[in-house]
Amino acid sequence: MVVLHALSDFIDSDFAVRDLSPSYWYEGRCLQSGERLRLPRTSMSEAIAHGLMQQLAKNDCYSREGKMYGILLVELPNGEQRVLKAFSGLLNGCSLVTGWVPPIPGRDEVALEEARTLAELDAIKQEILTLKQLTERQQYETLSDEFERQLQEMSDRHRHCKHQRQEKRQQICNTLPPEALAIALEQLDEESRQQGIERRQLKRQQNEVLQPLQQLIAATDARISELKQQRKALSRQLQAQMHASYSLTNFSGRSLSLQQLIPGGSPTGTGDCCAPKLLHYAATHNLKPLAMAEFWWGASSVNQDKIPGEFYGACIERCQPLMGFLLSGLKPNPPAPFPAREGGDVTLPIIYEDEWLIAVNKPAGLLSVPGRYRDRQDSVLSRLRHLLPDGMALASVHRLDQETSGILLLARDRQTHRQLSQQFQQRQVHKVYEAILSGVAIAEQGVIDLPLWGDPENRPYQKVDWQNGKPSLTQFQVISREQDYTRLEFTPLTGRTHQLRVHAADVRGLGITILGDRLYGCDAVTSRLHLHARELHFEHPQLKKTLYLKAITPF
């Protein structure tokens, strides 16, 4: 079966790469060394993907069901370049399709069990749908509403009669002789007793009619709950069998099952996405990956967060946790997305540079400035001081948390540092962060106003403190929601330590931790803190013009 394709199948022979800067990085940390490994999505891989889109557009069968597709540009041992293509899950019900990368080994081993379990799950689904459509539910609602109406009308009438009796008692007490008064009062009491009997009779009738329906509905709901538990147990059992049988191989030649890679469990479909299929095939066929691109094709996704023809990164739940293992053994790493200063284990991509200032795209895991102790000296500032001729004059204008990536601004002289620092202090610098929350945010946008105070007993932990805290203000805007995660923009109007992390995690803020923020309670298995300083707008102190800096979000 032909799986390797020529570049000419997707792009013209005279195609020229105009932009060498990757638009996205597939990345993860090696499970053994902790080294950060990366594979880019480049203009070349995107052009190849667009060529694949044109092929898909010619056949209606690709448009009926929406799914992710991907291409991997690879280099053969002889130096020639070829293209692999893959689809996520099944294509028109088939896992093995000519011309496409085959599924990761293991699916065939559980194919029979999978088919049997899927049939059981479908039968459970149909029974649940039937039980939810129980006609007695609507009957109960209608009768219940009717009895409530009758009881309300009776209560109103009885209340009016009671008021009339009270007025009549006052009247006859002053006008009737004792013997006639006793008879009249007894008549009024009898009327009250009759109305009580009338109410009890209606309540009894209500119970006689509704109780059998209630019992039937309760039994039905109990059955639905039982079926849902069965469905969950079957799904988990099948998932465990599949994850134990699926075996991934990386570029070091090491193979592990999904169960070994994600022992805590992972969503159904893990291992069936494009990226793992493409990288596993390349690793097992001595092919060197150069660049990858994944895109959505066909109908929009159910929750409308995937648009046909748009490129997307590794999915958070299924692919991202596997990236560090899959890329292990792939060396050397591709070049940085911007002209970079090499130093230490991590490159420092330069976003902007002139004689007065320099802005870098700080990688996650690297300090902004050196720490107090010897083992905390490696940082953006210390590396640039060693790398640049004028490095010793550099000064950091602001800081990013060690685990936060994104734009970090440094000044090359004292005057520029003073002027930029004033802009930050006077809140004249516009900052935009992008983050992924480890849950689904309800609000679309808003402002979080929670004062923050450092906990002296638990540094660097910050907490909300209404008495001692410093004013802290954050605007937020949801970008998209995907399954159990929320991608959003943060615009901090103040610059407190861990401001965005606390405002996200605290129940008085969003009440959802940023994905990967273990300090504030996120226990999800992920390679990094999903917080990135994406944009920075400020006035250049010397050029007297506004600089608009942006660093592509790497997750």
As annotated, the active-site residues are 401
The encoded tokens of residue 355 equal 């004689």
Residues whose CB falls within 8 Å of the CB of residue 253, separated by 6 or more in sequence, listed in order: 283, 329
Give dist(CA 210, CA 202) in Å, integer. Answer: 12
Residues whose CB falls within 8 Å of the CB of residue 394, separated by 6 or more in sequence, listed in order: 358, 381, 384, 385, 388, 410, 411, 412
Give dist(CA 385, CA 382) in Å, integer. Answer: 5
The encoded tokens of residue 177 equal 């002789």
State the DSSP H helix or E strand holding residue 147, giving kind and residue range, or none if neither.
helix 135-173
Measured CA distances, 536 to 338, 409, 547 (Å): 17, 9, 8
- The three-point CA angle 467-468-474 to 5° equals 95
End-to-end Cα separation, the chain, in angstroms: 34
Reduce the secondary structure of 482-502 to three states and give it as a string.
Answer: ECCEEEEEEEECCCCCCHHHH
Say if CB 115 and CB 95 are below 8 A apart.
no
